[in-house]
Amino acid sequence: MDLHIDKISKTFSRNGDENTVLGGIDFRVHEGEFISLLGPSGCGKTTLLTIIAGFQKATGGRIILNGDQVSSPGPDRGFVFQDYALFPWMTVQDNILFPMKEMGVPKAQRDKNLTRLLQLSKLTGHEHLFPSQISGGMKQRTAFVRALAGSPQVLLMDEPLGAVDHQMRQSLQEELEAIWLNDKTTVIMVTHDVDEAIYLSDRVIVMSACHGRVVADVSIKLERPRERVGSAYTKMREELTEYLHQGFWEGQEKAI
Ligand SMILES: Nc1ncnc2c1ncn2[C@@H]1O[C@H](COP(=O)(O)OP(=O)(O)OP(=O)(O)O)[C@@H](O)[C@H]1O
Ligand SMILES: [Mg+2]
């Protein structure tokens, strides 16, 4: 897997007004990496992720996956929406089976994968419940393993842990890491939470507040599983917070 976000720009036009949200974002993603896109609200994170997914087109630049340009959605890119987007009329089990059925995975293999994914996400025993009958965290885990069920080359997640409380968020981060360490699927995750980015990522890409630019591309070399304390962690936190400030003020200056 090799993914190149090649000078992606995006300008929205409405009633003659032009709003440049992404101004030539360029970075590469390597096999098995966990990358976070970190930036303030409105900086264009969702826009960039949906362009990578092929849900909308860039104004300029290209998305190159394994040497080929991609411009429409495909099973090679899994997507986890912020609001889960589970099928409410399907049980947990049927939600997870859905992408495998779509792809024509044989039944025996589907059942084997389902058992593994239910175990990974600690949903065994809850597989016959409907989304309305399970908690936010369980919905989140269902959405996550459903996206993994299609065996994507890269998993795109838009603030997958945004809708849960602090305690639940930390425990879901730990579970997400455990699943990811087991699976090693390449991940690009959108977040505006510095701690979440440090806890989970191999690399954090910080975006500026306006005119979407990459302010910094920082490798996180802390050992896994990570401690949320200690001087190395604190230093990383300070560094990323500083970049976020830098990106914020850069945006303001341009906007004035
Ligand atoms: N379809 C659209 N038409 C016009 N403008 C849009 C459209 N989609 C997004 N925008 C604008 O692009 C900017 C970036 O939006 P985007 O949703 O990508 O931000 P974000 O970084 O994901 O923010 P948040 O953290 O709040 O989710 C915003 O100013 C938004 O108003
Ligand atoms: Mg968003």
DSSP state of 183: H
Nearest residue (CA) to ligand 1, atom 5: 12
Nearest residue (CA) to ligand 1, atom 7: 12
Residue 30, pLDDT score: 97
With respect to CATH, is domain 1-76+191-240 assigned 3.40.50.970? no
CA angle 211, 201, 145 (to 5 degrees): 105
Residue 251, pLDDT score: 56
DSSP strands (E only) in the chain: 2-14, 17-30, 34-38, 60-65, 68-69, 77-80, 154-158, 186-191, 203-207, 214-219
Nearest residue (CA) to ligand 1, atom 28: 42
Residue 61, token pair as written in the block: 């630049």
Residue 81, pLDDT score: 87
Q: How far is the CA of 94 from the centre of ligand 1 (A)?
A: 32
Largest CA distance in the chain: 61
Ligand number, closest to the Cα atom of 50: 1
Ligand 1 binding pocket includes 45 (Cβ within 6 Å): yes
Q: What is the mean pLDDT of each run of 10 residues along the chain (256 residues)?
A: 97 92 96 96 94 96 97 92 88 95 92 92 95 91 89 93 81 87 92 94 94 93 92 95 88 56
Ligand 1 binding pocket includes 46 (Cβ within 6 Å): yes
